[in-house]
Amino acid sequence: MPGAQDLRPVYLVTGCAGFIGSHLSERLVRDGNLVVGVDCLTDHYPRRMKEENLKWLRGQGNFTFLEEDLTSCRLGSVPARELVIFHLAARPGVRDSWGGTFEDYVRDNILATQRLLEWAKDRKVEKFVYVSSSSVYGDAGELPSKEDGNPKPISPYGVTKLAAESLCYAYWRNFGIPVVVLRYFTVYGPRQRPDMAFYRFIRAILEDEEVEVYGDGTQTRDFTYVGDVVEATVRATELPDGEIFNVGSGSRISIKRAIEILEGLMGRKARVRYSDAMKGDIGDTYADISKIRRFLDYNPKGLEEGLAEEIEWLRGSG
Ligand SMILES: NC(=O)c1ccc[n+]([C@@H]2O[C@H](COP(=O)([O-])OP(=O)(O)OC[C@H]3O[C@@H](n4cnc5c(N)ncnc54)[C@H](O)[C@@H]3O)[C@@H](O)[C@H]2O)c1
């Protein structure tokens, strides 16, 4: 933990052991910032993967790891000075959010956010960046999705992410916490979660197993490279308070086409099996990114380049 004489702001990253949170933490540490990462290493996917994500960070002098559950919010050891908070901790994933596990979604997505906001309201916070999801849009509105539409999530996960957005708004209006909400669109790249499509597809192609596609493959996604998401998130400190911004690639392709791209990059044919669409999955996602581009120089990268990195990572990660 940094000493009391050090007056630099502290960057607090929740969910720092996760797919995106670990990339964000690494970027902030490399830039020379003091970073405190919080994560309780939930069992949503293997703990060993999260430990691996933390490996480099744990060896850095300007990074401190707190293994804490945000619902208890025992953050007393975080230095009492200016804070920039990036709140990524959550229980992600649409398909698992039905039935009995909903309780976990309410806990990790809504309650954890409320506890963190309560803690933050008595602190000197320069920015509170809440990471939300394209899942809040549902499939009712026009495409590409704009931030000022009326979100209508069609999954319990989307409902919890929208509820947490609303909590952030309420704490901004009532307590002046300088909140910015970012809505990420399907993120991919090295360290992607094992329940996500590209991870499953690449693994199956490498192991010559069937690639299972939920639905008929014509559904489209706005896929966003993790490096672009990190760039936008770091720079979200420059965005106006109380506002919502899409963080997508601003383009979309079908799952079928994405598999063809993987086949080209991997030099192998995929054996595809189509199964029933999953409840809660949105037909199409497509981000209108004109709002964030009005404020930031945000230029997302092409899909092939980012996918090549994910393939390399999965080839090396046994
Ligand atoms: N991956 C995507 O495509 C995507 C798309 C849209 C939005 N998001 C959002 O981005 C954020 C990060 O997603 P990810 O894909 O990296 O997920 P992830 O599961 O890899 O990371 C989330 C981390 O939060 C931690 N966590 C969960 N509940 C916690 C709690 N109560 N206290 C402390 N730590 C807790 C988990 O242990 C995990 O390491 C999430 O908020 C997610 O909703 C992700």
**Whole-angstrom distance, CA of residue 129 vs CA of residue 139:** 25
Instruction: Let me know whether 131 and 20 are in one domain.
Output: yes
Residue 1 lies in a domain: no
Instruction: Let me know whether 116 and 84 are in one domain.
Output: yes
CATH of the domain at 264: 3.90.25.10
Question: 21 CB under 6 A from ligand 1?
Answer: yes
Instruction: Let me know whether 111 and 205 are in one domain.
Output: no
Q: Which member of 11, 105, 130, 157 is catalytic?
A: 157
Instruction: Let me know whether 128 and 235 are in one domain.
Output: yes
Query: How many angstroms separate the alpha carbon of residue 91 from the centre of ligand 1?
Result: 6
Pairing outcome for strands 220-221 and 253-254: antiparallel
pLDDT at 118: 97
Question: 221 CB under 6 A from ligand 1?
Answer: no
- Residue 4 pLDDT more than 60? no
- Residue 295 pLDDT more than 80? yes
Query: Would you say the pTM of this structure is higher than 0.75?
Result: yes
Query: Which ligand 1 atom sits nearest the alpha carbon of residue 21?
Result: 16
At 92-108, the pLDDT tens digits run 999 999 999 999 999 99
Question: 23 CB under 6 A from ligand 1?
Answer: no
C-beta separation of 226 from 184 below 8 A = no
At 137-193, the pLDDT tens digits run 999 789 999 999 899 999 999 999 999 999 999 999 999 999 999 999 999 999 999
Where in the sequence is the domain holding 274, given as residue range(s)? 197-219+252-284+307-313
Query: How many angstroms separate the alpha carbon of residue 42 from the centre of ligand 1?
Result: 10
Residue 2 lies in a domain: no
C-beta separation of 135 from 282 below 8 A = yes
Show Cβ contacts of residue 227 under 8 Å, excluding neighbours closer than 6 positions: 23, 189, 301, 306
pLDDT grade, residue 302 (50/70/90)?
A: confident
- Residue 309 pLDDT more than 60? yes
Substitution site in 44, 54, 55, 160 for ligand 1 pocket (most atoms within 8 Å of beta carbon): 44
157 as an active site residue: the answer is yes
Mean pLDDT of the chain: 96
Instruction: Let me know whether 19 and 155 are in one domain.
Output: yes
Give Cα 169 distance to the centre of its chain. Answer: 19
Residue 105 lies in a domain: yes
Question: 71 CB under 6 A from ligand 1?
Answer: yes
pLDDT (average), residues 39-45: 96
Instruction: Let me know whether 294 and 213 are in one domain.
Output: no
For the chain, the domain total comes to: 2
CATH of the domain at 90: 3.40.50.720
Instruction: Let me know whether 160 and 202 are in one domain.
Output: no
